Amino acid sequence: MFDTHAHYDFNDFDPWRAQLFDELSKQGVNKVLIPGVSLSRSVKQISVAKQFDCYYALGMHPWYLPKDISQSLVKLDNLLSEQREDASLVALGECGLDKLVDGFDKQVELFEGQLALAHQYELPVILHCVRAHEEVLARLKQQNLAKAGVVHGFYGSTELAKRYISLGYKLGIGGLLLRDNAKKLQEAVAHIPLEHMVVETDNVKFTVQDASDFPAYCQKIQKITTKIANLQNLPTVFVVEQLVRNSLQLLEV
Ligand SMILES: [Zn+2]
């Protein structure tokens, strides 16, 4: 299985990381993408990715708005240029727009700058989008990226999903799907062809309590995949294989 979005570089995982990756591999999760959230974390992020043989993406999340947008875009440009020969660098992100946090105008400036860099470095993007789908879609249409990308943590209707798909984007399906009240998402997942989806845990936290049951913590991808298989009325083995193929195709790895 391929977890296309997990923040295993975050500090919570420091004491547990080796054990965690051990358990993940026992459970068949042998590919993980660690997305970037801010440039100040990139050194650790890249070193964790190297140590545990993960893919990674570099980018600036709208929750971590830098003070000086244009300067930070120059820094990201330099970092991408330094790392461009690294085969583990597979995407730009997270980047996007989020109306639940402040500074929307700055977010737009940062997002547009990152889309331009994704174009320049020919990378797919990992999108974070909350209550700003119209604004994000408009910019994706403007900056027609050859490799498109993924709408991470997708939550929306079948119709919204189809609009992203028509631009070549995949939908990152995560833990929200497992909630009983996520009817809209479940309906979308039931109706969209499987080839447009990838799966993700978006794991960010790890506590001592989680550590008391490592296997359960690591089963999240399996649970989401099984749910997709049920909604699509397809055998789980088939769905697992197709989702891995979709991820490899998205990231060209
Ligand atoms: Zn994330």
- Cα of 6 to ligand 1 centre, how many Å? 7
- How much is the average pLDDT of 10-17? 97
Does 191 appear as a known binding residue?
Answer: no
What pLDDT is stored for residue 185 in this prediction?
Answer: 97
What pLDDT is stored for residue 25 in this prediction?
Answer: 97
User: Could you give the percent of the chain with pLDDT greater than 70?
Assistant: 100
d(CA 23, CA 236): 21
Does 5 appear as a known binding residue?
Answer: yes
- Cα of 182 to ligand 1 centre, how many Å? 19
Dump pLDDT digits (tens) for 22-40: 999 999 999 999 999 999 9
What pLDDT is stored for residue 63 in this prediction?
Answer: 97
Listed in sequence order, the residues at least 6 apart from 94 whose beta carbon sits closer than 8 Å to its beta carbon are 35, 36, 37, 57, 59, 60, 61, 126, 127, 128, 152
- Cα of 94 to ligand 1 centre, how many Å? 7
d(CA 137, CA 163): 8
What pLDDT is stored for residue 103 in this prediction?
Answer: 97
Average pLDDT, the chain: 97
Q: How confident is the model at residue 108 (pLDDT cuts 50, 70, 90)?
A: very high
What pLDDT is stored for residue 226 in this prediction?
Answer: 98
Does 85 appear as a known binding residue?
Answer: no
List, in order of start, the domains of the chain with CATH numbers.
2-251 (3.20.20.140)
Tokens of 232: 């699509």
Per the CB < 8 A criterion, the answer to whether 126 and 57 are in contact is yes
Dump pLDDT digits (tens) for 47-79: 999 999 999 999 999 999 999 999 999 999 999
What pLDDT is stored for residue 119 in this prediction?
Answer: 98
- Cα of 199 to ligand 1 centre, how many Å? 13
User: Could you give the percent of the chain with pLDDT greater than 90?
Assistant: 100
Q: Which of 145, 95, 153, 154 is nearest to 124 (CA)?
A: 145
Dump pLDDT digits (tens) for 193-229: 999 999 999 999 999 999 999 999 999 999 999 999 9
Dump pLDDT digits (tens) for 77-101: 999 999 999 999 999 999 999 999 9
71 membership: H or E segment, kind and range: helix 69-83
What pLDDT is stored for residue 125 in this prediction?
Answer: 98
Per the CB < 8 A criterion, the answer to whether 207 and 12 are in contact is yes
What pLDDT is stored for residue 38 in this prediction?
Answer: 98
- Cα of 29 to ligand 1 centre, how many Å? 18
What pLDDT is stored for residue 163 in this prediction?
Answer: 98
Does 133 appear as a known binding residue?
Answer: no
What pLDDT is stored for residue 67 in this prediction?
Answer: 95
Does 94 appear as a known binding residue?
Answer: yes
Complete edge-to-edge strand list for the sheet that includes strand 125-130: 2-3, 31-34, 55-58, 89-98, 125-130, 149-151, 170-173, 197-199
User: What is the DSSP secondary structure assignment for residue 157, as one 8-state letter?
Assistant: -
Listed in sequence order, the residues at least 6 apart from 70 whose beta carbon sits closer than 8 Å to its beta carbon are 109, 113
What pLDDT is stored for residue 47 in this prediction?
Answer: 98
Does 119 appear as a known binding residue?
Answer: no
What pLDDT is stored for residue 54 in this prediction?
Answer: 98
